[in-house]
Copies of this chain bind each other. A is one copy, B any other.
Amino acid sequence: MKPATIRDVARHADVSVASVSRVLNGVGVVNEPTRQRVLQAVDLLKYVPHSGARSLSTSRTDTVGVILPDLFGEFFSELIRGMDVAARAHGLHLIVSSSHDDADEASAAIRSMRGRVDGLVVLSPYLNAASLTASLAGRTPVLLMNGGAMDAARPSIVIDNRAGAMTAVEHLLGLGRRRIAHISGPSGNLEAEARLAGYAEALAGSGVVAQVLDGDFTQGSGHRAVTRMLASGERPDAIFAANDMMAVGALLALQEAGVRCPEEVAVVGFDDVPIAELVRPALTTLRIDIAGLGKHAVERLVGLIQAPDSEEANNEILRPTLVVRGSSTADASAHSSPAEAKPTAPGEILMGEIQDV
């Protein structure tokens, strides 16, 4: 009852394993009669090549891996979707490994990938480059996306979080808001820290005093942060959350407290996950084409796999784009009104660009 192997097929077709291999891989030349006999045996025995064995012998797995901190929220699912698209387009399988909150776990995960994948996309916002490099012995091509302290010696893609955050704050300042609070991401997270830095920097020149509420990138933390702040009597006129999920939590907290958005408090998020334009008011945010990013990452990884040293140390920086929606418009009529419901508001303002370094 065990699955047939290539030898079973060879025996059945009365040829050698070499011929079977040739037929199946379409390499070399085989006489038509032999070819037919092999094909016949293959489907009689329902033979399916054992990809593990094949990998061992070819040292190609036709699989790429992705190391992620976690799988919550829409950011990572969108990213995976994009990566999957690219992987499939190149005939590759995708193996995901998540929930690596610290450097050690991530390192272990990376190591456990040896012999399983041809290349890796690593998102580890908590990992510093040094610790990462240590894990990355071997010659496995790796594309880094650990926003922040990037290892200049390795191919990478980073999001310009600081610039994005500054854009967000400047947008709010431009709206005349003067009490701008920030809901931060988890401490130790490089992306979160860069966004916080951008917030602080943008504020620095304006005389507006910074007010930071602790968050951890989850919707619940955004909700709690705002609820607590309101309870303490604080009344900012704008909130910049370090990501969209927290911004959504903030939006809900405001609604529960009866505080109108954007009239009383404007809200800006970061990432532009799909729900950003579905909530009401729709969320102003810094757009990252997440799925596109995932796709692009895999494509670069494929390039690395095919030509390991071609684009070494190519560090790419993506600048997020400001998308203005109802949660931060001066126009009060935009708030929760049916007219504003269309998925793509006509008044969307886009800024920013993608630049290569």
- Give me the interface of A with B, judged by CB distance under 8 Å: 1-3, 46, 48-56, 61, 63, 71-72, 74, 76-77, 80-81, 84-85, 88, 93-99, 111-116, 137-139, 223, 248, 252, 255-258, 274-275, 278-280, 336, 338-339, 341-343
- Taking the full assembly, how many copies of this chain does it contain? 2
Are B342 and A252 in contact, CB atoms less than 8 angstroms apart?
Answer: yes
How far, in angstroms, from A275 to B74 measured CA to CA in the complex? 10
The 9 closest A-B pairs by CB, nearest first: A77-B77, A255-B341, A52-B115, A50-B115, A46-B137, A51-B115, A71-B81, A3-B138, A255-B338
Closest residue of B by beta carbon distance from A61: B52
Asked whether A53 and B115 contact (CB < 8 A) given A3-B137, A81-B71, the answer is: yes
Closest CB in chain B relative to A71 CB, distance in Å: 4
Are A341 and B256 in contact, CB atoms less than 8 angstroms apart?
Answer: yes
Please give, as numbers and ranges, the residues of chain B lying within 8 Å of A94 by CB-CB distance. 95-97
How far, in angstroms, from A343 to B252 measured CA to CA in the complex? 8
Are B51 and A116 in contact, CB atoms less than 8 angstroms apart?
Answer: yes
Known: A71-B80, A71-B81. 4 other contacts (CB 8 A): A3-B139, A77-B80, A256-B341, A258-B338
Are B93 and A98 in contact, CB atoms less than 8 angstroms apart?
Answer: no
Q: Which of A74, A85, A96, A339 has the most CB of B within 10 A?
A: A96
How far, in angstroms, from A137 to B341 measured CA to CA in the complex? 51
How far, in angstroms, from A234 to B115 measured CA to CA in the complex? 60
Residue among B48, B50, B85 making CB contact with A137, cutoff 8 Å: B48
Are A84 and B56 in contact, CB atoms less than 8 angstroms apart?
Answer: no
How far, in angstroms, from A278 to B94 measured CA to CA in the complex? 31
